[in-house]
Chains A and B, each alone.
Chain A
Amino acid sequence: MMRLLATLRIAWRALRRNPLRTVLTALGVIIGVGAVIAMVSIGTGAKVQVEAQIASLGQNVILVMAGGVTRGGVFSGMGGAGTLKIEDAEAIRNEVEGVACVSPEVRVSAQVTAGNANWNTSIYGESEEYFDLRRWPIEDGSGFGAADVRSGNRVAVLGKTVVKELFGETSPVGQTIRIRGVPFVVSGVLSSKGSNFFGQDQDDAVIVPYTTAMRRLFGITALRSIQISAAGESLVQPVLDQTTALLRQRHRIPEGRDDDFHVHTQQELAEMATSTAKIMTTLLGSIAGVSLLVGGIGIMNIMLVSVTERTREIGIRLAVGAKRRDILMQFLIEAVTLSVGGGIVGVLMGLAASVVIARQMKWPTQTPLESVVLAFLFSAAVGIFFGFYPARRASRLDPIEALRYE
């Protein structure tokens, strides 16, 4: 321990002897570690944001999409096969245990007008349970009720973006809008949800009862999808299994054939999205890691120069009784001091950079503690790895040769 302290002092003194060189050498590691921290912060920020958005989809949500069809080699897209019917949704509602909310769903893009203003947006046909299911509160006015759905009333709930485009600052509640020329009364305005992880503005939508949408607006009989929420987290899987079984039975799909629908849980979506974020984090992190590697090579280079320059010093130390291990440790500790010092400064720079990125680019960066610890340990490892060869070379010098070195 005492010896280690003494060795540390020697290393510190050797590094202070040539401050510019020390700083330039450490700069490689500083930039490397700083880049790793900044990149991981960006990646983690993205991941956290995606997770928050997934959570905003509602809890314990299961999405049943109608299957796609391939006609003449062209895939019609998910939900295009028309395999899901209103009766399927009703059957799920009545027969599957553990279901909290069910909302049959159609989505069509249409032009909406109000007075002189018009706007192209998505029309969602949903049930009255949709707002609960998505945990999407009504900010102004009210949603529509079961009676509206039953009778196919022409009521609409608007997203924030639509309100802004059609009504500006005035409240649209009680006003009339026309969807494809059909008049609807605005019953409420949804609170803002922002954009989802695909970058789509979730507030750019008009929600109407699905019955109205299917019969009065678009004249369609098939659903795009059914959204279901389970009554508890532990019920998600049972509800999913039951729903799948029920739909297979209803669609008369024989054993061994594929489903003509697709079931996704919110968990799956979350995993999909976070895995994308993870890939991004890994990619950014490894690019930054390469620069850390370059920093390590810089340390090795300078340590080799340093060993050559200090051959005589090594000779003196060997002559007065330093063992090979002592010399090895001296140079290794010097390299590690360089890299760890660079690591500490790099961590601080990385943290500063992620704060600046968060402020200037409105990117919600987040620095996980383990990435700081990891970058720090990695920088120490870089010092040991790249310092070892020069240190070993120093320790293997012949004392007579070293003393003779000019």
Chain B
Amino acid sequence: MEPVIALEKVNRIYQTGATSVHAVRDLSLVVMPGEFVAIMGASGSGKSTLMNVIGCLDRPTSGRYLLDGVAISGLGPDALAEIRNSKLGFVFQGFNLLSRTTALENVELPLLYAHPPISPAEGRRRATAALAEVGLGARASHLPNELSGGQQQRAAIARALVRRPAVLLADEPTGNLDTRTSVEVMGVFQRLNDGGMTIVMVTHELDIARYCRRNVVMRDGRIVSDKAVEDRLFSADQLRELDAEQQAVQLLP
């Protein structure tokens, strides 16, 4: 099986005036289809830079990057845009939905930039299906400010899914959510991953990382630990536990 993501001795150096910041150093990483990887690390460890490189928002200063078999390193901005559109789905910490634009239209957004073009009717059908997939079908016509944080993040996940990307990338997807909603959102990811979707997410929360299958830890631009999750958490179990706790609290006199 071919890897979805293959990074080989990737460096990313930021040049700001006289000083240069070596954010990612000689990093190599392979992600196979169907994996669910959490990239962890303290702030400044280079995990966000790595995420930007994987997400084709940024180009590595040196090294090789193959995404779904396509060499990314030498591509220009527009070619990268096309890759982002067709092969990648993004979920952000701050949801990043367009305000005053319904959930459905937000999900349709990537289809607007698809090549070859997708007809509006077909786009609507796909967006509706993606919303249903994350359990937000009934809220399609709501504006972001009419949705809860969890619902907004679900809409964002639907947007990331709508083009059937090779990889779903999530940058601190639970960072702005409360515990229960975080567990719910991780449940959505787990369900998608069970369906075969490759997911790479950045998080600094250890318990959130335990919902993934593989944890990669970074420090100073290098990977310092890369292992499978042994004591994996499952959203369904955790939600049941949370419910039980809730009930226990209510039963107290």
Contacts and interface: CB of A to CB of B under 8 A. Distances in A.
A and B interact: yes
Interface string B83-97: 011100010100011
Contacts of B57: 318-319, 399-400, 403
Contact of A321 (B82, B97, B100, B120): B82
B188 interface: no
Given A6-B120, A326-B113, A321 B85 contact: yes
Contact of A316 (B81, B96, B117): B96
A2 interface: yes
A320 B120 contact: no
Contacts, number: 64
Contacts of B119: 2
A321 B109 CA distance: 9
Interface string B190-204: 000000000000000
Interface in A319-350: 319-326
B96 A312 contact: yes
Interface in A274-312: 312
A400 B113 contact: no
Interface residues of A, number: 22
A323 B82 CA distance: 7
Contacts of B109: 316-317, 320
B145 to A, nearest CB: 14
Interface string B156-170: 000100010000000
Given A313-B98, A403-B92, A403-B96, A318 B81 contact: yes
A3 interface: yes
Nearest to B55: A319
A313 B100 CA distance: 11
Contacts of A252: none
B110 A321 contact: yes
A18 B139 CA distance: 26
A319 B120 contact: no
Contacts of A399: 57
A321 B117 contact: no
A17 interface: yes
A320 B117 contact: no
A268 to B, nearest CB: 62
B220 interface: no
A403 B57 CA distance: 10
Nearest to B162: A320
Contacts of A323: 77-78, 81-82, 113
Given A2-B120, A313-B98, A400-B52, A320 B85 contact: yes
Contacts of B82: 321, 323
B161 to A, nearest CB: 12
A328 to B, nearest CB: 11
Given A2-B120, A6-B112, A400-B52, A324 B81 contact: yes
A394 B92 CA distance: 21
Interface string B112-141: 111001011000000000000000000000
A188 to B, nearest CB: 79
Given A326-B113, A400-B52, A400-B57, A320 B98 contact: no
A400 B58 contact: yes
Nearest to B110: A320
Contacts of B85: 320-322
Given A2-B119, A2-B120, A320 B77 contact: no
Given A3-B117, A319-B96, 12 more contacts: A6-B112, A6-B120, A317-B113, A318-B57, A319-B55, A320-B85, A320-B159, A321-B84, A321-B113, A322-B81, A403-B57, A403-B92
The 7 closest A-B pairs by CB, nearest first: A321-B85, A320-B110, A321-B113, A323-B78, A323-B81, A321-B84, A322-B113
